[in-house]
Chains A and B, each alone.
Chain A
Amino acid sequence: MSTGTRPSAEAALPATAPLSSSPAAPAAPVVAEMTPRPFRVVDRVRETPDTWTLRLVPDDGGPTIDAVPGQFTMVYAFGVGEVPVSVSAVPSDGVPLTHTVRAVGAVTEAICAAKPGDVLGVRGPFGRGWPLDQAVGRDVLVIAGGLGLAPLWPVVHALARRDSAGRAAAVLVGGRTPADLPYRDELARLAAQTGLQVLVTVDRADPGWDGRVGVVTALLPDARFDPARTVAFLCGPEVMMRVTAAALTDAGVPAHRVHLSMERNMHCGIGHCGRCQLGPMLLCLHGPVCDYGRLSPLLTIREL
């Protein structure tokens, strides 16, 4: 059994910052939530020069971690450290626990270096995922910047299978260069073989690139969606999400239907330590997915 906070738990948003008092919680579940379980790497695929996808199965005889799209786990490279990583595939995709990780520092470098057979510690799942129920009967826009596509990847697959019973679905991806685009082949396959509209752009082209060049918001005029009936899921660098969310609301998408996955630093994953506080929210608990209606006043405050 996983002990992480499931989206259905819908932790209520406190009116004031809850930092001074730790939530009273029974000791045993906290210990379980804080204790990494051993997971063995069964597969490792290089997505881009600095990014790998790892598939992990439990090494303690227990069940796998049953996360929903948008949730994250805390992945521990033994002896190095532990970091939050979103799930990039979920059990309903019929695959093991999957994480796509970019090597940016000590811990993520160690995780990316893990080879099949190696063991990592994992605890979770944590946080609130994408509110996919809002896709029913609506146009869906998935907008990703760089590796922000990883937490959205299970959503893209659900849309491709038409699980969500939504209307039109468009996937807009912005990357640094063509070589930095994760899941490039699979995106091309989904564009060719499913009803998904897939639009990709890069900041900087190379001589072979015959696709779009420019910021991800420049793709919006080509995306098929009716703003008033749209739900949007965004993930990427914070600046990219801020600008994109503003463009969407300018176009008429209601702010409360623009959902962002916020990647502030996290430590405990269970709302205990306060590392991931953003205004009145603890992102590990009330996020990482939050709606822009709630976030927009917080995103421009520099001290947060």
Chain B
Amino acid sequence: MTSPSPSASSAPLPVPETASSFRVAAVSGMRADHLAALAGCARELSFEPGQVLFREGGVADTLYLIRSGTVALEMFVPARGSISIDTVGAGDLVGWSWLFPPYRLQFDARALTAVTAGAVDAACLRTRMAQDPELAADLLFHLAQVLAGRLSATRMRLLDVYRNPAER
């Protein structure tokens, strides 16, 4: 399935080979030169099933663009263990704590399956965004779209639509 995305307003610029890896759905509507900027800050990573991408409390230094596989966002709850709060699949992204000080990770992220991801270095990205407001606006627009989707999905879950009406 492909999702519709806002089309780029400017003429496409030549895109370096590496930028093709950023054509994940969440950012695919970004301008080609902006995708190239992301690619310039990134490296390709892969994770085995069960491998941890990051842990709560750590420094938020990476934006992960998930190319394949599924990542679980988890939190360790004493006496219960690790609870998966949300899962994120291919085409989606993980991690935005790098956007705001104190750049501290809020959750654990663990690969549920084999995962490949574009890992964008946050310090590099913040520098580029400071230099190029259009890049910043384009990226923030796409991040906001993902966040809005996550927020409505979370609100839907708060409705608890599957509960047994007999429960009080």
Contacts and interface: CB of A to CB of B under 8 A. Distances in A.
Interface in A172-231: 174-176, 180, 201, 203-207, 209-215, 217-218, 220-223, 225, 227
A176 B162 contact: yes
B166 interface: yes
Is the interface on chain B under 10, 10 to 19, 20 to 34, or 35 or more residues?
20 to 34
Contacts of B11: none
B87 interface: yes
B112 interface: yes
A212 B85 CA distance: 9
A145 B159 CA distance: 13
A166 interface: no
A143 B87 CA distance: 18
A221 B25 contact: yes
B131 interface: no
A223 B162 contact: no
Given A210-B112, A214-B157, A217-B153, A176 B163 contact: yes
Interface stretch (B12-20, B55-63, B76-84, B118-126): B76-84
Contact of A206 (B3, B70, B83, B91): B83
A50 B82 contact: no
B161 interface: yes
Contact of B83 (A103, A207, A215): A207
Given A213-B87, A220-B1, A102 B164 contact: yes
Interface stretch (A24-32, A115-123, A236-244): A236-244
B89 interface: yes
A251 interface: yes
Contact of A207 (B82, B86, B160): B82
A304 interface: no
A105 B165 contact: yes
Contact of A212 (B3, B4, B70): B70
Interface string A99-124: 00011110000000000000000000
A105 B82 CA distance: 35
A197 to B, nearest CB: 12
B90 interface: yes
A131 interface: no
B85 A213 contact: yes
Interface of A: 50, 102-105, 145-146, 174-176, 180, 201, 203-207, 209-215, 217-218, 220-223, 225, 227, 236-237, 239-240, 243, 250-251
